[in-house]
Amino acid sequence: MGQITWHGHACTEIRTDDGFRLLIDPFLTDNPMADVGPDHFTDGLDHLLLTHGHFDHVGDAWDILRETGAQLIATFEIVAYAGDHEGVENSHPLHIGGGYQFPFGRAQLTPALHGGQVAGENAGPYSTFPAGFLLELNGGTTIYHAGDTALIKDMELLEGRVDVALLPIGDNFTMGPADAVRAVEMIDPDTVIPIHYDTMEVIEQDPRAWARDVGDRAEVVVLEPGGTHDY
Ligand code: NI
Ligand code: MN
């Protein structure tokens, strides 16, 4: 059995049923919602995935990568920045629509409609497209982490392919609750976990009210930071 742990905001840890440990968007030190710090991962991490370059997603990524030697998976430009300026040597670049077979399964970058800045010193030339991740794990489970995005018609292309979807509901910087319900309709996942809310005042939401709005379209799992979902 595999396990998904939500660490607040968009930060998601995945332990696969064949023993790989993945971490997505590790915004921890400056995240008031985070239940753990970056040292939670120093006892072993296989891959660190970044959906885009904003500070609330990169977070502690460079420190964790240098400390653990985990492999960075992100867009070409983020990987280039990490190698040129952050001392990250173990990395694998992808780009939107492209996927690759990793030891844990296939990771594919999906479109996201959002901002492309990379947070960091001298990061100007490295601005890039934001993305989501479609992870087809070896055990047969497919997880979709949407990243930061508006509701986009491209989500219809995922219909029937996703077991667990992690969708932003915060509004203001990403799609809000009503559009996230439409995303559930379009993707039709078995299970959906709301993310990217309550971290700051402008994205405060009621995830249980959202779960009622989703209704029987999918199983909604509302996690507290540190909460887990077995798949
Ligand atoms: Ni963002
Ligand atoms: Mn964000």
| Ligand 2 centroid to residue 148 C-alpha, Å | 6
How many whole angstroms from 204 Cα to the centroid of ligand 2? 13
Can you tell me the distance from the alpha carbon of 189 to that of 187, in angstroms, rounded to the nearest whole number?
6
- What's the 113 CA to ligand 1 centre distance in angstroms? 10
Give the Å distance between the CA of 8 and the centre of ligand 1.
Answer: 14
Residue 118 has pLDDT above 90, yes or no: yes
Distance from C-alpha of 185 to C-alpha of 149, rounded to nearest angstrom: 16
Burial of 163: CB neighbours in 10 Å, binned 0-12, 13-18, 19+:
middle
CA of 124 to the centre of ligand 1 (A): 16
Q: How far apart are the first and last CA of the chain?
A: 6
* Predicted model pTM: 0.98
pLDDT at 54 over 90: yes
Average pLDDT over residues 15-36: 98
Q: What CATH class is the domain 3-221?
A: alpha beta
Tell me the domain boundaries of the chain. Answer: 3-221
Please give the Cα distance from 215 to 198 (Å, whole number).
Answer: 21
Query: 125 pLDDT band (50/70/90 cuts)?
Result: confident
Query: Which residues on adjacent β-strands are paired with residue 13?
Result: 5, 23
Expressed in angstroms and rounded, the spacing between residue 54 Cα and the centre of ligand 2 is 7
CA distance 77 to 208: 37
Could you give the percent of the chain with pLDDT greater than 90?
A: 97
Ligand 1 centroid to Cα of residue 213, in Å, is 25
Give the mean model confidence (pLDDT) for residues 211-229.
Answer: 98
Q: Is the pLDDT of residue 42 over 90?
A: yes
**Mean pLDDT, all residues of the chain:** 97
